[in-house]
Amino acid sequence: MRKLPVPEGEFWPLAGPIALVTTVDEAGHVNVAPKSWISMVARNPRLAVMGCHRQHHTARNLLTTGECVLNFPGDDLVGRTWEAHHFREPGPGEPEARGFTPVPALQVAPPRLKECRAHLECRLESVKWYGDECVLFLTVVAASADAAVLESADPAASLRPIFYLGEGTYGVIDRSAHAAPAAAEFVRYVITLKKQPGAVLSAELVRAHVAHLQQLEAAGQLVLCGPFADGLGGMVIIRAESEAAARAIAEADPFVASGAESYELRTWELSCAANNHMGMGG
Ligand SMILES: Cc1cc2nc3c(=O)[nH]c(=O)nc-3n(C[C@H](O)[C@H](O)[C@H](O)COP(=O)(O)O)c2cc1C
């Protein structure tokens, strides 16, 4: 395998998420600037870092007023985001002049930018200097995003965040994927049964269905089961080796096999103390 040195000054393997940083100066003027030397560095407290030149309004405002909002533009805002790095004297109406609409933040004085779909509101925690550059440690005090992003099946792809790859170059996240399937011990299968119009559940059929459930119970596969009180169907939650195995079990149910009920199968990942709520329990 051939490996070559990365040319001096290129750091694209360390691509940083591009944020439009809003700050306010002592006169109350809002400043908007793109920054990409940004990363989360701690969970408790929630700490982000941002690298900035000391002369930039962003650093100066943060060092005086101690607050900022990191607004994350999607790739629909690339043009406006890049344009925003051109120098502009502080004054009223900066977000609007840059093509953005300021909306109040939840916890800090600098505004969120409406056109960006996710926002981290931050307070300055500390600063470390390297010559004319500084690393600003920021405590994240509030986080918000558009409902459409949070309600999407793939929030990252819905946000389409952009990353700085070098002079005038960016990359975009347009899909996310799980690195590893959920551990089998934390997976169950949910079978929802729906009674077909006009179907009659004879005592004989119900007994056959119950015998099927008892078999599952004896095999240690039945978790929960029972009919819905509206009489229109029921739910069976099982353990199984795979989705295909769970489907075979659902289809072996006499209610389904007889055509009296249709079913829907869903793979259910458990969120519980034992798996620290899928690793997100703090
Ligand atoms: C996509 C992009 C990312 C940038 N990231 C940074 C950064 O992380 N740190 C920095 O000091 N400047 C960065 N810059 C340059 C500043 O945004 C630029 O110098 C700007 O004029 C500073 O504005 P300000 O004085 O309002 O803070 C970036 C510029 C662009 C276009």
Q: pLDDT tens digits, residue range 80-105? A: 999 999 988 999 999 999 999 999 99
Nearest atom of ligand 1 to the alpha carbon of 52: 11
Mean pLDDT of 218-237: 95
Residue 11 token pair: 């750091």
pTM for this one? 0.71
pLDDT value at 159 more than 70: yes
Question: What is the C-alpha separation between 268 and 276, in angstroms, rounded?
Answer: 16
Return the residue whose CA atom lies nearest to atom 18 of ligand 1.
Answer: 85
48-74 per-position pLDDT tens digit:
999 999 999 999 999 999 999 999 999
- In degrees and rounded to multiples of 5, residue 44 shows phi and psi of -140, 95
pLDDT value at 18 more than 80: yes
Ligand 1 binding pocket (C-beta < 6 A) is: 18, 31, 33-37, 51-53, 56-58, 82, 85, 87, 164
Cis peptide leading into 254, omega within 30 of 0?
no
pLDDT value at 181 more than 70: no
Of residues 133, 134, 137, 132, the one with CA closest to residue 122:
137
Q: What is the pLDDT at residue 184?
A: 78
Residue 244: CB atoms within 10 A of its CB come to: 9
Q: What is the pLDDT at residue 249?
A: 97
Q: What percent of the chain has pLDDT over 90?
A: 83
Tell me which H or E stretch contains 21: strand 19-24
Query: What counts of helices (H) and strands (E) characterise the chain?
Result: 9, 16
Q: What is the pLDDT at residue 193?
A: 97
Return the residue whose CA atom lies nearest to atom 21 of ligand 1.
Answer: 85
pLDDT value at 180 more than 70: no
pLDDT value at 162 more than 70: yes
**What residue spans of the chain are helical by DSSP H?**
57-65, 78-83, 94-97, 147-150, 155-159, 203-218, 243-252, 254-257, 276-279
Q: What is the mean pLDDT of the chain?
A: 94
Return the residue whose CA atom lies nearest to atom 19 of ligand 1.
Answer: 85
Class of residue 72 by CB neighbours under 10 A (exposed 0-12, middle 13-18, buried 19+): buried
pLDDT value at 182 more than 80: no
pLDDT category of residue 6 using cuts at 50, 70 and 90:
confident
Cα–chain center distance at 147: 12
Return the residue whose CA atom lies nearest to atom 30 of ligand 1.
Answer: 34
Q: What is the pLDDT at residue 268?
A: 96
pLDDT value at 37 more than 80: yes
pLDDT category of residue 179 using cuts at 50, 70 and 90:
low
Residue 8 or 118, more confident: 118
Q: What is the pLDDT at residue 11?
A: 81
Q: How far is CA 210 from CA 202, 252, 260, in A?
A: 12, 12, 15
Task: Say if CB 84 and CB 34 are below 8 A apart.
Answer: yes
Mean pLDDT of 146-161: 93
Q: What is the pLDDT at residue 109?
A: 98
